[in-house]
Amino acid sequence: MSQWIAVYSFPLSKDLGALVGFIQRYQLPLRIVEEKNRQLLLTVDDHFGQMLKPLLQRWEAGEINFDDVQLQRVAPGDSPGSGVTGVQPPQRPEPSPESRTGNKPAGSPPASPVLPVFPLIRTPVSLVLIALCFLGWVLLANNSANVLLITPDQGGSPLFVQSSLAWHLQHGEYWRLITPAMVHFSLPHALFNALGIWILGRPLEARAGSLAFVALVVLGAVISNLSQYLWESQVRFGGMSGVVYALVGAVLVIQRWQPAWRDVPTGFPAAALILLFLCALGIVTFFTGVGVANAAHIGGFLSGLVIALVYCALGGARKFNPDATFARKL
């Protein structure tokens, strides 16, 4: 009876679908079992297993794809059980003169930017923010969001101590400095800001880490909400736009500090700034009839610039080096 030998082990979270397809395609003498919270790859041919191990290491590191790997076959019986004599991993092609100089041949299509796929587990705060956008909209639609908003100031007193915000703070309701960011006045409003968090927030959180990202979000929310209240305290306001513009400011700073970082398309922050300009001029309100919290947008954007400048000056920009590795799977 053949003795199965463990060749390699993988964590339970590792998707081995590509490896299973590779085994089935070449009918390899391998099997996969779960044992002691690991996935074990077993073989009856220890020599073949040792030959395969470097290939498995490169695949687990994300350097190769099993679809590109070829095996050299021999007649059955010439090699113990496996019917193969060697493994040919994909070879990296020599760079062409055009790629070395940065010039493309005439008529070649432009390179398409590839957006990274971040593991969901690396961006929990962004996912929570997206959920809060819709939760705030649902609460407002059910008249349950007043506890999250800053009550509009109807007194008209120029003294801050007599303002509605001062009353909230005197009664310990400090959360109102942040929670207006949750409340959205329409579903498109929530969708628009959720999209901004997805495009801008997840790349920032995946690279900088959740703790630094929380600091950016909280400070951006507080500054944008305070800016809007101090500018127009008689009007009820809400939405994640101030936080989104804090992310825009942070992305702009980091992309200039680390020019090779392109997890966020460069055109997106530029489009956001154009929209900010159009809103500030009143053009968006004129055509849509929707009020815009311009002070929140500007305050959030400026806070993002300053926070990112401090972060990069303290060495945080190194995390946005494209050579920094992290898992890229869902």
Which is the catalytic residue, given 126, 227, 233, 241? 241
Residue among 77, 63, 67 nearest 26 (CA): 67
User: How many helices (DSSP H) and strands (DSSP E) are in the chain?
Assistant: 12, 5
What is the CB neighbour count within 10 angstroms for residue 20?
A: 13
Residue among 280, 244, 292, 241 nearest 264 (CA): 244
Q: DSSP readout, 141-210? A: HTT--GGGSPPP--S--S-GGGSHHHHHHHTT-GGGGTGGGT--SSHHHHHHHHHHIIIIIHHHHHHH-H
Residue among 246, 205, 212 nearest 315 (CA): 212
* Distance, CA of 186 to CA of 58 (rounded, Å): 49
Which is the catalytic residue, given 126, 224, 297, 303? 297
Secondary structure of residue 242 in the 3-state scheme: helix
Q: Is 241 a catalytic residue?
A: yes
What is the CB neighbour count within 10 angstroms for residue 264?
A: 23
Residue among 313, 123, 131 nearest 207 (CA): 123
* Distance, CA of 67 to CA of 289 (rounded, Å): 54
Q: Is 186 a catalytic residue?
A: no
8 A C-beta contact, residue 184 and residue 238 = yes
Active site residues: 241, 297
